[in-house]
Amino acid sequence: MDALSAGPKGVVLTERQRIAWLRLIRSDNIGPATFRDLINHFGSAEAALAALPELSARGGATRAIRIASEAEARRELEAAHRFGARFVGIGEPDYPQALKQIDGAPPLLAVKGALAAAKRPAVGIVGSRNASIAGAKFAAMVARDCGRAGYTVVSGLARGIDTSAHRASLDTGTIAALAGGLDQPYPPENIGLLEEITGGNGLAVSEMPFGWEPRARDFPRRNRLIAGIALGLVVIEAASRSGSLITARLAGEFGRLVFAVPGSPLDPRCHGTNGLLKEGASIVTAPADVIEALAPLTQFDLFSSSMAEEPARDGKPISVPPGDSDRTRIIDALGPTPVEIDDVIRHTGLSASAVYLILLELDISGRLHRHQGGLVSLSD
């Protein structure tokens, strides 16, 4: 496990850059993918912030875009400091190395606790909130043995399987991914567990603002953190329509190993895990199954490429904005069906730089919808 434990490299953001990054990601219509494209095109968050009003207007926005102010960013940084937390940027050494490789990785993570937990290879463990005694016991066994083998256990702080996995790995290191702000943990009964995690060898992470109360649609975003941080994901007791299956799907899309624990066909809590096995997930009947399967992945520095704190774009941004006819050509080419950006470039015959800039304009104006895998469509 030497390669992944050696310590990631990166570049630390200056305070000015951190404030600009926080302002940019907290502005309207700026998600992780849009953030990345803006930084790549303009070279810095400050330059991107200055360009937002014009980009939004050219994209056809009907009202001025809301841009987070420096005062707002400083207030959130102060709130994090009071809470004992801080923000880590995607190119910095303390950012989870596996997470930064996924599509749509959060540019900034709010973190609290032992940062060493994010520097070790991780295994995700998720499952039913209404776990059986056997399921909870097995989750604890897997978490305990994986922890002893040098892995950080990552889960979502939910009732049931998540709780068992976190508790069993308190001594060795665990990461709790939250759907709301770090100061708004869910469920309330696990507040004490979260304090044990952040007060010991564990870490809490969130991409949401401080004070943000989690909503139903925030949990899939949380699930993507679990899938992205871990090298492999173990699913223990999951119903046919459950958040755990969303996490498993994301893990597969990210190229992670997906494991499932078989269960009785008569138990609805096992329908999802049995389905994963039919779809090709690796069967787990003992903790050693997970540890042995992950071992080869830890022998290489899989995530050694480091992103600069403000990555430079290949070439220079185009100096003259695309014309209305180019913009119309792209809008006419798009529709409600997601398509690849390369297909847009080929179909329109426009330069890649012009297409990316027009898509940025449409995105910032709220007219573009981004999909998993880099696909785009026009918003309804």
Neighbours of 321 (CB within 10 A): 15
CA–CA separation, 175 vs 349, rounded Å? Answer: 46
Q: Name the band, by pLDDT with cuts 50, 70 and 90, for residue 143.
A: very high
Please give the residue that has the higher pLDDT: either 379 or 268.
268
| Of the candidates 205, 238, 242, the residue with the CA atom closest to the CA atom of residue 98 | 205
The two structure tokens encoding residue 336: 């409600």
Three-state SS for 152?
strand
- Distances in whole angstroms, Cα of residue 166 to Cα of each of 17, 97, 144, 161, 222: 34, 21, 9, 9, 16
Q: What tens digit of pLDDT does each residue of 169-201 get?
A: 999 999 999 999 999 999 999 999 999 999 999
| Side-chain-side CA neighbours of residue 237 (13 Å) | 22
Mean pLDDT, residues 90-119 taken together = 95
Number of C-alpha atoms within 13 angstroms, CB side, residue 335? 3
Residues 306-356: pLDDT tens digits?
443 454 443 445 556 788 899 999 999 999 999 999 999 999 999 998 999
CA neighbor of 166 nearest in space, from 122, 132, 231, 134 = 122
- Report the predicted TM-score, pTM, of the whole model to 2 decimal places: 0.89
Query: What is d(CA 86, CA 110) in angstroms, rounded to the nearest whole number?
Result: 6
CA nearest 225: which of 162, 297, 159, 307?
162
Question: Taking a C-beta distance cutoff of 8 angstroms, is the pair 83, 112 a contact?
Answer: yes
Going by C-alpha positions, the residue among 32, 269, 291 that lies closest to residue 143 is 291
Residue 129: partners with Cβ closer than 8 Å, 6 or more residues away: 158, 159, 160, 161, 162
Residue 230's pLDDT band (cuts 50, 70, 90): very high
Mean pLDDT of 197-209: 97
**pLDDT at 237 > cutoff 50:** yes
- Residue of 144, 138, 139, 132 lying closest to 170 (CA atoms): 144
